[in-house]
């Protein structure tokens, strides 16, 4: 059998943000902070927050539908749905709910957890299924509702995060548009950023006690995470560029995980990528975890910044610790 169309292309994008908007001024009435502190240390001005009845699968489905429409295919054409999330509505996974909500009855669906690197890890995972000839049409969604898991009294973390979802359609093509990638992890630094199970004992019999389901709010060593990001992200991008056999001068757009404007600036500076090529929307949305790269990508495609054939470097980093970069040309 001769396998054809083993190239990978991203052919559609979509995004969805909850309507509720919390700006720094209002947030500073809840915790001891200020617009000046948040904006100067992070670049964030406001964030969108899901209400208690909104679900990750709901916003992810809206983003996925828009991506499928842009790609010009039917939900019935979708072979695989990957939901990159750390905040599934259900610990057993939320991707199957998306499958139902978008009517992708022929698809297999599963969740993937790699925190804020989830979109890049998902893109690489999707590419493996396409390059082996198994699937032709994949929907990858990065979606998170971190507001549920933030301690809203902890000013060192609550100012950073927001909610949202972004999606892409990844298709098999003759000419490969995914030029290179590199993904990494380092569990020795796992304690820098956690949303971890909170052990609580539940005695069953005199000899056996088990845990009771509960999670602690997000804890973070901000300085360590900052140091990790500005060192590791340029390294992993360099590696992916090497694999793609292109130089930074050939890069049209840098889309980093939207964690902190100072991280975006430092990484761009280390790579010698001018600021007009750096896509940033974190002033409006804060850190939306796995959603941040596909939301930024979708906005830049829809507002005409990113055009077919443009070379994009996408790089995610976060809890795990995990980090990674993918180099691709937009569209077919």
Q: State the pairing for strand pair 219-220/208-211.
A: unpaired
**Of 96, 116, 158, 192, catalytic:** 116
Length of the chain: 332
Q: Which stretch binds ligand COA (CB under 6 A): 102-110, 130-138, 155-163, 233-241?
A: 155-163
Report the alpha-carbon angle 161-284-329, nearest 5.
95
- Active site annotation includes 276: no
Binds ligand COA (CB under 6 A): choice among 143, 318, 324, 331: 318
DSSP-derived secondary structure letter, 216: P
Q: In the 8-state DSSP scheme, what is residue 245? A: T
Binding of residue 116 to ligand COA (CB under 6 A): yes
Q: Which is nearer to ligand COA, 9 or 88 (CB)?
A: 88
142 binds ligand COA (CB under 6 A): no
Q: Is 223 in the site for ligand COA (CB under 6 A)?
A: yes
Subset of 259-278 contacting ligand COA (CB under 6 A): 259-260
Q: Determine, following the binding rule CB under 6 A, whether residue 42 of this chain makes contact with ligand COA.
A: yes
Residue 7 makes contact with ligand COA by CB under 6 A: no
Based on the shown chain and the rule CB under 6 A, indicate whether residue 315 belongs to the binding site for ligand COA. no
- Binding segment (CB under 6 A) for ligand COA, from list 126-134, 151-159, 182-190, 304-312: 151-159
Residue 43 backbone phi and psi in degrees, to 5: 90, -5
Give least dist CB 111 to ligand COA, A: 18
Q: Which residues, 20 to 39, sit near ligand COA by CB under 6 A?
A: 33, 37-38
> 260 phi and psi, to 5 degrees?
-160, 130
Closest approach, Cβ 138 to ligand COA, in A, equals 24
Q: Which is nearer to ligand COA, 14 or 320 (CB)?
A: 320
The site map against ligand COA for 86-115 (x = CB under 6 A) is ------------------------------
List of residues 6+ apart from 15 with CB closer than 8 A: 63, 66, 164, 165, 166, 167, 291, 294, 295, 298, 299
For residue 299, give every residue at least 6 positions away whose Cβ sits within 8 Å of its Cβ, in sequence order, or none. Answer: 15, 281
Q: Considering only 64-72, 153-161, 206-214, 270-278, which stretch makes contact with ligand COA by CB under 6 A?
A: 153-161
Closest CA to 232 of 115, 322, 294: 322
Residues in a beta bridge with 18:
none
Confirm whether 21 is a catalytic residue.
no
Q: How far is CA 110 from CA 29, 45, 107, 164, in A?
A: 40, 34, 10, 19
Q: How far is the CB of 58 from ligand COA (least distance, A)?
A: 23
CB of 67 to ligand COA, least distance (A): 23
Whether 116 is catalytic is: yes
Whether residue 295 contacts residue 285, with contact meaning beta carbons closer than 8 Å, is answered with: yes
Give the range of 83-91, 216-224, 243-251, 271-279 binding ligand COA by CB under 6 A: 216-224
Please tell me the distance from the alpha carbon of residue 190 to that of residue 199, in angstroms, as a whole number.
18
Residue 170's contacts (CB-CB under 8 Å, 6 or more residues apart) are: 8, 9, 10, 11, 123, 126, 127, 130, 137, 138, 139, 140
287 contributes a contact to ligand COA by CB under 6 A: yes
Report the nearest approach of ligand COA to the CB of residue 141 (Å): 18
27: left (phi over 0), alpha (psi -120 to 50) or beta: alpha
Does 248 engage in binding with ligand COA (CB under 6 A)? no
Catalytic residues: 116, 257, 287
Binding site for ligand COA (CB under 6 A): 33, 37-38, 41-42, 116, 155-156, 159, 220, 222-223, 225-226, 259-260, 287, 318
């Amino acid at each position: 059998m001769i396998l054809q169309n083993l190239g990978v292309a991203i052919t559609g994008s979509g995004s969805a943000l909850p309507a509720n908007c919390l700006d720094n001024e209002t947030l500073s009435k809840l915790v001891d902070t200020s617009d000046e502190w948040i904006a100067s240390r992070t670049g964030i001005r406001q964030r969108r927050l899901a209400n208690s009845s909104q679900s990750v699968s709901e916003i992810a489905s809206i983003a996925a539908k828009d991506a499928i429409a842009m790609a010009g295919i039917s939900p019935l054409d979708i072979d695989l749905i990957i939901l990159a999330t750390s905040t599934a509505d259900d610990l057993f996974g939320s991707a199957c709910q998306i499958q139902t909500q978008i009517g992708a009855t022929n698809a297999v669906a599963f969740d993937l957890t790699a925190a804020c690197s989830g979109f890049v890890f998902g893109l690489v995972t999707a590419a493996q299924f396409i390059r082996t000839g198994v699937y032709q049409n994949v929907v990858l969604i990065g979606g998170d509702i971190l507001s549920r898991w933030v301690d809203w009294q902890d000013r060192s973390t609550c100012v950073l995060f927001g909610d949202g979802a972004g999606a892409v359609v990844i298709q098999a093509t003759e000419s490969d548009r995914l030029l290179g990638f590199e993904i990494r992890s380092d569990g020795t630094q796992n304690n820098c950023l956690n949303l971890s199970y909170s052990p609580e004992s539940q005695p069953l019999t005199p000899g056996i006690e088990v845990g009771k389901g509960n999670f602690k709010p997000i804890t973070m060593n901000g300085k360590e995470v900052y140091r990790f990001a500005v060192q590791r992200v340029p390294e992993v991008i360099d590696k992916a560029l090497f694999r793609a056999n292109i130089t930074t001068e050939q890069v049209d757009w840098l889309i980093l995980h939207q964690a902190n404007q100072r991280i975006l600036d430092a990484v761009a500076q280390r790579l010698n990528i001018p600021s007009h090529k750096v896509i940033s929307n974190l002033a409006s949305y804060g850190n939306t975890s796995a959603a941040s790269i596909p939301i930024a990508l979708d906005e830049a495609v829809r507002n005409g910044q990113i055009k077919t054939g443009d070379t994009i470097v996408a790089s995610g980093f976060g809890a795990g610790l995990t980090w990674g970069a993918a180099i691709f040309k937009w569209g077919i």
